[in-house]
Chain A
Amino acid sequence: MGAYLARRLVTLPLLLLGISGVSFILLNLAPGDPAEIVLRQRNPGQAPGPAAVAAMRTELGLDSSLPAQYARWVSQAISGDLGRSYVTEQSVAAQLVRRTVPTAVLTGSALALALLVAVPVGILSARRRGSPEDTAARLVALVGAAAPSYALAYGLIILFAVKLSWLPALGYGSPAQIVLPAIALSLAPMAQLMRLIRASMLETLGEDYVRTARAKGLSEQTVAIRHTLRNALLPAIGATGVNLGYLLSGSVIVETIFTWPGLGQLMVGAVLSRDYPVVQGFVTYIAVVVLLVNLAADVALRVADPRLRFGRVEV
């Protein structure tokens, strides 16, 4: 376990360097001179003169070579400085930190909701395979996988905020305002988890040790909870990375619709206004989160599944 953790922790900075490097190159290959973009942002409607552009290039450090610029960005990033926004001139790192809480609250609620529904439904669906409840659950999972979060979000707003006036449509701050965005965001991971838990539950129910447990005369309830559930939930832990991807990708759209002041909204705004330092900082920040969560999930999987710890099963 120690050696495994050490190996993973050593590769982590390399992966980060890779992702931030790719996005740095990409953003620098983008058409248009950043100095000109900044000047246009700050003085709308005016064409910047060559002298002003040259001065701005020096100010932004754009006249040194690309590797030198990247090296400087990395050395500053290590000390927590991700540069300043072209548009607002605010510190990128401070903006990212400020917007993390709303996004964490939203994705956390959505994940909790997804698990709360998907685990019991997935288990029941597998135990009563072929029943009307099973069919209904699989139908919901199918619809959940196909429904675009943006259409679903507007469906929820139209129904619960416009027609019924039960819940506020937009905004951030009160507990009622989180209900609709959390539901909209939870549907995709919920559908995925439901299918996954049902499938792994079915597989586990066919294992020899489950047959043995039944042969011992244990009740179906005990067999399901003591012998099947733990193994059936392992793939759900293994799918953490995939679900984090769903949640973060979905949060970009859901936050934009519900005017939720999180990271996704910041990213969309930065992409549309070509605010490259913010895009670069955001990509790096998400990479850190994704890599750390994946690492935590892998460690949790090893704790929960002794077969992995002793190297009997390669994953």
Chain B
Amino acid sequence: MAVVTKRREEHSPLEAVASGAHGRRRWAARLLEPGTALGLFLVVSLLLMGLLSPWLPLDDPTKINLSERLLPPSPGHLLGTDHLGRDTLSRVAHGARMTLLAAAATLALSMTIALAVGILSGYYGGWLDTALMAVVDLLLAFPSLILALAVAGALGPGLFNVLLAAGAVWWVGHARIIRGVTLGARQTEYVTAARAVGAGHLRIILRHIAPNILGPIVVIASLDVGWIILGIAGLNFLGLGAQPPTPEWGAMLNDARPHLQTSPRLLMIPGAAIFLAVLGFNLLGDGLRDLLDPRTGPPGG
């Protein structure tokens, strides 16, 4: 474990950035690999769409116009309209904002829980570690979507409740990884030395242990966003999350179900949006992992 931690540290992201020309070249070369570049492009497009959607020249995504129901794509409505005459392009663009906000909130919540549990468990050890890891093992064994479904069912429908449910089940695997890294860092000489000179627990955790966790967290988070987007859209699709008329991709798919035969476009568009967003984050995450985790080789290997 100590060996792994040391290797991680040698290639920490901060150092890779700070070590000048060589490090920068490596970053640039990796980001230009086709897969990572495509991922970066998709993620940046998604971010731009999400950030700018309220200011783009789009129709109101919730404006109902029954005289323009289920129109095919036209210059006025580039992606056509849905069963209530709302502009599909506008709903997809505003959906990007929804998706990003939801994913960010879920990630923040699950990371907070994972950090708290992982650090407490790895740093203090003993019965606390045993108890926390027993809970982790229990939850790890359970299919995450079903667990989230049960939590969302208990909380009642609503986008906020879906976020709580997703965050409440998503931290489990990460807590284990963070615990492992913390455990490894705790056994290093510099932590022993810090303790010997009388540093408090909080100071040791923040100054000496936290930097070790940073690299793994960046990798986990970037690989995670795709799964979170898939999961949340899935819960929304089942009708548990965003309620009408909120423009959200999973909910749009659900709305379009009765129009499968007549307007398959209404299912394909949000489906493709979810797919491209997930693909983008997965590709970018894979690229970042190869860059930050020296144990896995280049993508060919």
Contact = CB atoms under 8 A, between A and B. Distances in A.
Partners in one complex: yes
Interface residues of A, number: 54
A150 B237 contact: yes
Interface of B: 35, 134-135, 137-138, 141-147, 149-157, 226, 230, 233-234, 237-240, 250, 253, 260-261, 264, 267-268, 270-272, 274-275, 278-279, 282-283, 300-301
Per DSSP, chain A at the interface is helix
B264 A151 contact: no
Contacts of A19: 138, 142
Given A26-B151, A253-B234, A253-B237, A290 B274 contact: no
Contact of A145 (B154, B157, B282): B282
Contact of A249 (B143, B156, B268, B272): B143
A151 B253 contact: yes
B149 A267 contact: yes
B253 A150 contact: yes
A154 B237 CA distance: 12
Interface of A: 15, 18-19, 22-23, 26-27, 29-32, 129-130, 142-143, 145-152, 154-155, 157-158, 162, 169, 202, 241, 244-246, 248-250, 252-253, 256, 267-268, 270-272, 274, 279, 282-283, 286-287, 290-291, 294
A130 B300 contact: yes
Contacts of B137: 15
A279 B264 contact: no
A278 to B, nearest CB: 10
Contacts of A248: 143, 146
Contacts of A27: 150, 153-154
Contact of A30 (B154, B233, B261, B264): B154
25 contacts: A19-B142, A26-B151, A30-B153, A30-B156, A142-B279, A143-B279, A146-B226, A148-B274, A150-B237, A151-B253, A151-B268, A151-B272, A154-B268, A155-B268, A155-B271, A162-B260, A162-B261, A244-B143, A252-B145, A253-B234, A268-B149, A272-B240, A274-B153, A286-B142, A291-B141
Given A148-B275, A253-B234, A271-B152, A287 B260 contact: no
A129 B135 CA distance: 41
A146 B278 contact: yes
B13 to A, nearest CB: 24
